[in-house]
Amino acid sequence: MNLVPWKQREAELDIFDDLEEFQRELNRLFDINLHRPWKKTNGGSFLPAVDLIDEKEFIRVKAELPGMKKDEIEISVDNDSLTIKGEKKEEKETKDKEFVRSERYYGAFNRTFSLPSGIDPQKVDAVYKDGILEIKLIKKEDSRQKQRKIEIK
């Protein structure tokens, strides 16, 4: 049994520090991480982590899809929505081997995002490199927000 040094609590309680400490203790006890980039859903499939960044002339979408090939990914844009779907297939090379631990997720995924009206569906570029899918959705010229300084009264 490990001895843990005692620390005196401050008069003011910080709930987030307490929650972080609680998560560290759970992680230590169960040797797991409660925050996973691949969120497990029904059937053992996953949802890839995605960032959407609104830039002046376009919207950039980055999705983490490690271990996939670009022909296993499908992208479509229609009716102001972006859909990314695919399937990460499980490797079958485990002859005469026993898993001690398996944490990787496999299966089909389907992510759909609402886009602002003004995306030109004819001007969409996608690049897949090093497990990161990057999609660039160009905004129509008339829908780009013009910055305007507002006078404070």
pLDDT of 35 reads: 46
pLDDT of 52 reads: 93
Q: What's the CATH number where 132 sits?
A: 2.60.40.790
Confidence band of 118 (pLDDT split at 50, 70, 90): confident
pLDDT of 102 reads: 66
For residue 99, tell me if it sits in a domain: no
User: Is 53's pLDDT higher than 70?
Assistant: yes
pLDDT for 9-51, tens place per residue?
665 666 777 788 888 787 777 654 444 444 444 444 577 899 9
More confident residue, 150 or 50: 50
- For the chain, strand residue ranges (E) read 39-40, 46-47, 50-54, 58-64, 73-78, 81-88, 107-114, 119-129, 132-139
For residue 79, tell me if it sits in a domain: yes
For residue 24, tell me if it sits in a domain: no
DSSP state of 151: P
For residue 86, tell me if it sits in a domain: yes
pTM of the predicted protein model = 0.61
pLDDT of 39 reads: 45
Kindly state the greatest CA–CA separation across the chain: 76
Q: How many domains does the chain have?
A: 1
Which residue range is the domain that position 67 belongs to? 39-91+105-143
pLDDT for 62-111, tens place per residue?
999 988 898 999 999 987 889 999 988 776 666 667 766 767 777 888 99
User: Which residues, 6+ apart, have CB-to-CB distance to 135 below 8 Å?
Assistant: 60, 61, 62, 63, 75, 82, 84, 124, 125, 126
For residue 148, tell me if it sits in a domain: no
